[in-house]
Structure 1
């Protein structure tokens, strides 16, 4: 019996030993995993900062830094993870904020928006930490441009709306007169309709331009340019017929697909056709030509109208610029919008015009990129 009891005791002790060893091994593995996974260790914090989508700068002395993560180095033009700050215009501003943040120890740090020489705009936040100063940096270029575009949009819009609003108010007052004649009444109603349309067109084009300028990029897909131009001509045909303008399309067969945003490219052709029709004389022609060139697909919209005087030609893509009398309806934004859309398609607007001689008229040219061979395959 004693022998059996000893065997049981040995068995229990052996089982307990195995359990303890197994538990110890598992605990050691768990601790190793935790150390590797935990971002709270110095190594973990460094890894997080190296991959962060914001700038982290640790300043340890006048114009010197102990650590700058890749985002901060790229944004501020720093060449190494530690060292001296460059001789740049933004550095004195940063030093000023460091001093102010230390004087306001109870505050939440110092914020500032700064323009860099690289045409970038950054926002930083500076706060003391022991003997060092921590700077968190974020790029704010897109936000700054959006704010500028919005400010310009409202400023320009308010300026341009003064004339039509003044005209509308004047003719509304005329219509309220008790003894206004039917002829004057009809004239006032016609002017009200014209100015209201002008306002609507102006507002829509300004909003379109604002959206384009504040968007980061446009979605580009394969586009059948020939079908798109045929659609634009079909939409413009009633306007051309009303003004006795001949619309035509000359295109090479088997044109490759271009890369772009279909809706925006349709806007380009509609605006160019609208200009060609509006500023041409009865009996003139507006011709769209499409052809393959080395750079892509060449697009030409030309008319046989009176042309644009040479002194106006360099300015016609400026906002609200009108090279012709304002009696012709328009917002002065059509070519501005066209130029911006083409710029977003990595293309450039080329303008030529003749006002004298037998062949007068305006010629607009641009080239659109084609779909790469590997994508077409």
Structure 2
């Protein structure tokens, strides 16, 4: 049995929670791996698209009853020190292998990496101090756990990017090469892999942006600034948040307070000329990788991780900060419409999840 720990998981009322974990699990199941998801947020056990999901308390019951054995594997996605770590501490000596997948914030000092929050999201100095203390102990506890499990030769670590591996090593202050490590990108949703971008003749707007609105790392303020500099262009923003309650919305921006289902997303993209997806921080940026894989022209930020993920995509424009503060000629995207280039397989199942399947089967 493979137990997959995650902080949250999709359900019928909340289909987007850690969906990148669910997309993996669909492949695991198709490859005849016996999996059970442990959702730390679930109030009751359930099944979602034929994936069994149990609560943290049910998992602890299995541990107390002695149902975990030396043939079992535990996979922890973005290990949370308050929920994942206690579980792992209880089972690592009993099971065959612990596999930790690092996605980002769980192994980074947030005060050092994350951009300054928007003014309406600012917290008090006291709360900042609490966050910094939590970060310190988060990293310390995580480091201690990794070294302890590695000592008994039961640990594998997966990073979603080379950038993530480098930054994790820095924050943990350890040589990660002492561990059995792998760099495996998150996969693109199958809907982006089996279909190609095909712009409709009557587009809804020039640009589409899909972002949580209130986190400054997703840079919705840069989209707004770009829209102000280009009033003749039209922008549609999909995402939830309070940003425009506190900030002016230009007339050429229309906001749709919703998220889009992965199965509907590709067809929606066809109604726009270009995606604009700036970011100040990412360990990979799954959505922009999906849009690029689909073949749609996309503008994103020229930061290290975007260079790693998307630098070879001909339909991706890596731009510096000054791009969002100037007027542009929309013709810059015309030459790269409908491109499915040699990099379109980078985030497919074979180059991502299948590598994880190999690890799980050889463990």
Same topology, TM > 0.5: no
Higher helix residue share: 1
- Which of these two proteins has the greater Rg computed from alpha carbons? 1
Q: Which has the higher contact order (CA 8 A, sep 6+)?
A: 2
